[in-house]
Amino acid sequence: MKFPVSLMVLGAVLFGAAAGIGAYTFIYAKGYSYLTDDPSACANCHVMNEQYDGWVKSAHKGAAVCNDCHTPAGFIPKYLTKMENGFRHSFAFTSGEFPEPIRITPRDREIADEACRKCHADITEAIDASHRPGMELSCLGCHARVGHL
């Protein structure tokens, strides 16, 4: 395939413009911050302000950031979860279609529940061991407010 030079220049200009606008949007929206563990990134869009404020005042502030509890262990599961959450959150926030007060999804709740066991294994193993399959306890069932209100 061979295109006339003028068409190739036009294509290059358009592609460059699109890439420029895309990059600008990405930087303007602090897209790079979502690749970090910085909790303030989660409050980039103001809808998470209350959760962020709650965490700042919580017992876990010195011990865990958002990603410690809201993403699973392991690089790939962590970034897959970030991707899925990131898409869902931005879609909801852009379209405005979400319930208030905002609620965690069942899958994300499981992740958070598992996350307790990452650090508190000493205690949770003893508890989990005594509960038969199908009768496991949820940490968050009682400790729903340890991270933030």
Partner 1 sequence: MNAPNSAGQHPRRGGKRLLLLIVVSAVIAVGGLAMLVNIFERKQEARNPFYRVVDLTDTTEDPATWGKNFPLQYDGYMRTVDQKRTRFGGSEAVQRPPTLADPRSIVAQSKLEEDPRLKTMWAGYAFARDFREERGHAYMLDDQTYTERQIAAKQPGTCLHCHASVYVPYKKLGDGDLIKGVEMMNTMTFADARKMVGHPVACIDCHDPGTMQLRVTRPGFLEGIRALKASQGVPDYDPNTMATRQEMRAYVCGQCHVEYYFKGPEKRLVYPWGKGLTVDSILAYYEEQGQTDWTHALSGAPALKAQHPEFEMWSQGIHARSGVSCADCHMPYERVGALKISDHHVQSPILNINRACQTCHRWPEEELKARVETIQQRTFRLRNLAMDALIDLIGDLQAAKAADSTSPRLKEARTFQRKAQFYLDFVEAENSGGFHAPQESSRILGEAIDFCRKGQSVLRTAGFARR
Instruction: Give the residues lining the site for partner 1 (CB under 8 A).
Output: 1-4, 14, 18, 21-22, 24-25, 28-29, 45-47, 49-50, 93-94, 100-101, 144
**∠ CA(65), CA(119), CA(140), 5° rounding?**
75
- Token readout for 88 is 């869902």
Q: How far is the CB of 15 from partner 1 (least distance, A)?
A: 9
Q: Which is nearer to partner 1, 18 or 59 (CB)?
A: 18
Q: Which is nearer to partner 1, 46 or 132 (CB)?
A: 46
Helix (H, G, I), strand (E, B) or coil at 121: helix
Instruction: Give the distance, in angstroms, between the CA of residue 44 and the centroid of all CA atoms in the same chain.
Output: 12
Q: Which is nearer to partner 1, 11 or 74 (CB)?
A: 11
Q: How far is the CB of 72 from partner 1 (least distance, A)?
A: 23
How far is Cα 115 from Cα 70, in angstroms, rounded to an integer?
Answer: 7
Q: Which is nearer to partner 1, 62 or 101 (CB)?
A: 101
Contact 116, 68 (CB under 8 A): no
Q: How far is the CB of 94 from partner 1 (least distance, A)?
A: 5
Q: How far is the CB of 131 from partner 1 (least distance, A)?
A: 23
Q: Which is nearer to partner 1, 29 or 35 (CB)?
A: 29
Output DSSP code: residue 16.
H
Q: C-alpha distances in angstroms, 143 versus 11, 35, 76, 148?
A: 57, 28, 28, 10
Q: How far is the CB of 129 from partner 1 (least distance, A)?
A: 28
Output DSSP code: residue 33.
G
